[in-house]
């Protein structure tokens, strides 16, 4: 799906939060009133909520800050700025991860960052659809190249989880926790998710694309298909967070890029203590699903390799390298 330049211009006009008449919008875009009406309908289809009042015009129901490349770059720290080779922002894209995975087939570039206002085929774990309404959340992916094989970056998603929690803390978000292996939670509800895709030789050079989806604001209508408990930053911090989107992206990159750049040398051991401090599953009753099998037990944390430790009803502790984990009702 493509999003026209006129639609983006319309959003920039509405982003001030004030009412604009249809005539005013048509004049600004040099189009007819019927074209403005079609654009407004298109925005509604993208998940952008509008308010229309007779005699006053149209306004956004909630604040909107479109992604701005220079605004993001201006707020990066020196290390992160040096690690970025390219930062691209797409009005609409199938998937930020998918885009960088395709680029990685043709170039071994490192530090390439892809952001999008809207994803038509955003992905979560196990190929699930990631709900991606326009302009309200963070859809971010980074491409990195490693000289050693995938085995050398085992645990990278756990380390990046620590980086995301640190960034959210710098943004003023409290009570954030990590749910193994790659989810960020707040008070028992999912706030963000990490997806890492790796391609390359089993014992030689490989590339990894690290994707992050973070909820700033999820309209109820758009969130209806989500089957698990979720939360967004607007609920946690209020409306003002919607005006901090570019700053939040910069904070995330400041924390994530050094982790990606240094992971071959630092490894998971440098992050394991922080991960355990942020662990929101320890001591909780869960089910671990692997294929058609379900394992019930109490989470006893993670071991030094990042494997999930689950204690069953008989007191036996088993380590899991993968699996779908869901909390069980008390």
Annotated binding site for biotin: 95-97, 119, 190
Which of 125, 247, 300, 318 is labelled catalytic? 125
Interatomic CA distance for residues 246 and 243, integer angstroms: 8
Q: From residue 90, how far is each of 54, 75, 94 by CA, in Å?
A: 34, 20, 10
Task: Determine phi and psi for 30, rounding to 5 degrees.
Answer: 60, 45
Residue 1's SS3 state is coil
Burial of 29-64, coded b for 16+ CB within 10 Å and e otherwise, reads beeeeeebeebbebbeebbbbeeeeeeebbbbeebb
CB 136 within 8 A of CB 223: no
The question of whether 190 is a catalytic residue gets the answer yes
Q: Catalytic residue, from 179, 190, 234, 245: name it.
A: 190
Region class of 268: left (phi > 0), else alpha (psi between -120 and 50), else beta: alpha
Q: What's the order of all strands across the beta sheet hosting 138-146? A: 86-90, 112-116, 138-146, 206-214, 189-200, 183-186, 176-179
Q: Which of 181, 188, 178, 185 is nearest to 278 (CA)?
A: 178
Report d(CA 209, CA 228) in Å as an integer: 25
The answer to whether residue 125 is catalytic is yes
Catalytic residue status for 328: yes
Do the beta carbons of residue 231 and residue 191 sit within 8 Å?
yes
With CA atoms as reference, report the closest residue to 216 among 46, 64, 13.
64
Conformational region of residue 238, where left means phi above 0, alpha means psi within -120 to 50, and beta covers everything else: left
Instruction: Give the residue numbers marked as catalytic.
Output: 125, 190, 328
């Amino acid at each position: 799906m493509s999003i026209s330049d006129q639609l983006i211009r319309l959003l920039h006009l509405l982003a001030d939060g004030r009412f604009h008449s249809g005539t005013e919008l048509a004049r600004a875009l040099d189009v007819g009133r019927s074209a403005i009406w079609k654009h407004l309908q298109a925005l509604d289809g993208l998940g952008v909520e509008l308010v229309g009042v007779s005699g006053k015009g149209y306004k956004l129901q909630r604040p909107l800050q479109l992604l701005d490349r220079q605004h993001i770059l201006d707020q990066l720290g020196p290390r992160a700025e040096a690690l970025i080779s390219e930062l691209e922002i797409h009005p609409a894209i199938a998937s930020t991860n998918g885009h960088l995975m395709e680029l990685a087939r043709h170039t071994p570039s490192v530090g390439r960052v892809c952001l999008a206002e809207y994803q038509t085929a955003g992905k979560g774990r196990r190929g699930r659809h990631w709900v991606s309404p326009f302009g309200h959340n963070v859809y971010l992916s980074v491409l990195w190249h490693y000289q050693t094989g995938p085995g050398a970056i085992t645990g990278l998603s756990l380390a990046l989880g620590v980086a995301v929690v640190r960034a959210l803390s710098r943004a003023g978000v409290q009570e954030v926790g990590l749910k193994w292996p790659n989810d960020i939670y707040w008070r028992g509800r999912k706030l963000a998710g990490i997806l890492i895709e790796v391609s390359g030789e089993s014992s030689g050079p490989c590339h990894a694309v690290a994707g992050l989806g973070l909820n700033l604001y999820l309209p109820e209508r758009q969130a209806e298909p989500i089957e698990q408990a979720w939360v967004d930053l607007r609920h946690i911090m209020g409306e003002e967070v919607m005006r901090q989107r570019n700053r939040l992206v910069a904070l995330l990159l400041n924390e994530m890029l050094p982790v990606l750049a240094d992971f071959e040398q630092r490894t998971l051991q440098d992050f394991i203590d922080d991960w355990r401090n942020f662990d929101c599953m320890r001591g909780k009753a869960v089910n671990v699903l692997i294929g058609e099998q379900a394992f019930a037990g109490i989470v006893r944390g993670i071991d030094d390799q990042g494997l999930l430790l689950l204690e069953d009803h008989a007191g036996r502790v088993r380590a899991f390298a993968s699996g779908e984990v869901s909390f069980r009702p008390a």
